[in-house]
């Protein structure tokens, strides 16, 4: 089993680098999902959690990707996007720490880099028309799943499902590059107009008020300070309901159910 304390320490190395780049380039970001929940409820990681999530409005996300070309310390870190690796299937970026490895069940056999990472999710505009928005999300989910299958993602149990084989056979008619291009065009379709809501492509179940992302505050997190949505209560309630109530112990699980190798960082952390 992974040593969560050591894994947390490695993840914070990555988060600090992202925060440094954002501050240098005046790029707005917010910690999100369980990371923001952890900041509010625990002043750090949720004790049994093992990841770190960040969200950015699309304009800021694009600026961050561009800033990494000159400001990311490439001797230590690797920026992973759907452009840097053909078989990387997601529509969001990961900043990985070189010299580490984390193999998750659904992606362990995909020929990509598998370093310990922090996720950075772009937020794209949702149209005001409910029918159009629902159609956009539905098409996005189909294309998202098709890219996952085409790139080789999926647990062994998922690969036995009929839906997997339908997507696999359908994918024979399209290249990975064309599927990614179609998805990117779809996600950017409404980004040139003003809308009230935004969404994350790989987590489209929850729409967000765009106004949330214009007001940010500092949050203490493991002795550091990161930016987060000022109106955290509305955000966390929308995602988790009564977020202050601890889940039963049977539901307190971590995501890294595969192999985790922190390399030389294990020794370095142990000495501090």
Q: What integer pLDDT is reported at residue 257 of this predicted model?
A: 61
**CB–CB of 56/124 below 8 Å?**
no
Give backbone dihedrals phi and psi of 79, rounded to 5 degrees, phi first: -90, 120
Model pLDDT for residues 261-271, shown as the tens digit of each residue: 998 887 655 44
- Report, as ranges of residue numbers, the positions in the chain whose pLDDT lies below 70: 1-2, 254-258, 267-272
Burial class (CB in 10 A: 0-12, 13-18, 19+), 92: buried
For the chain, the C-alpha Rg in angstroms (whole number) is: 19
Single out the residue of 93, 47, 110 nearest to residue 254, CA to CA.
Answer: 47
Q: What integer pLDDT is reported at residue 253 of this predicted model?
A: 73
Question: What's this model's pTM, rounded to 2 decimal places?
Answer: 0.93
Cα 223 versus chain centre, distance: 23
Q: What integer pLDDT is reported at residue 271 of this predicted model?
A: 46
- CATH for 4-124+203-271? 3.30.460
8: which residues sit within 8 A by CB, 6+ positions away?
Answer: 44, 45, 50, 222
Model pLDDT for residues 220-259, shown as the tens digit of each residue: 999 999 999 999 999 999 999 999 998 888 777 766 666 8
């Amino acid at each position: 089993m992974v040593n969560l304390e050591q894994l947390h320490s490695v993840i914070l190395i990555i988060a600090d680098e992202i925060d440094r780049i954002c501050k240098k380039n005046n790029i707005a970001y917010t910690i999100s999902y369980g990371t923001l929940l952890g900041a509010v409820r625990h002043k750090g990681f949720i004790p049994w959690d093992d990841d770190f999530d960040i969200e950015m409005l699309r304009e800021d996300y694009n600026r961050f990707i561009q800033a990494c070309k000159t400001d990311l310390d490439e001797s230590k870190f690797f920026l992973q996007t759907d452009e840097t690796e053909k078989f990387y299937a997601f529509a969001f970026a990961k900043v990985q720490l070189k010299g580490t490895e984390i193999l998750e069940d659904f992606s362990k056999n995909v020929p990509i880099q598998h370093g310990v990472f922090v996720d950075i999710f772009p937020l794209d505009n949702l149209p005001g028309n409910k029918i159009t928005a629902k159609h956009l999300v539905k098409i996005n989910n189909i294309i998202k799943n098709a890219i996952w299958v085409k790139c080789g993602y999926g647990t062994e149990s998922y690969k036995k499902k009929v839906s997997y084989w339908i997507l696999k056979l359908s994918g024979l008619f399209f290249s990975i590059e064309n599927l990614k291009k179609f998805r990117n065009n779809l996600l950017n379709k409404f980004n040139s107009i003003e809308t009230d809501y935004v969404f994350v492509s790989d987590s489209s179940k929850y729409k967000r008020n765009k106004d949330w992302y214009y007001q940010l505050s500092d949050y203490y997190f493991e002795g550091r300070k990161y930016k987060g949505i000022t109106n955290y209560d509305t955000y966390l309630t929308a995602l988790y309901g009564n977020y202050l109530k601890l889940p039963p112990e049977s539901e307190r699980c971590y995501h890294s159910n595969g192999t985790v190798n922190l390399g030389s960082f294990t020794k370095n952390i142990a000495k501090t």
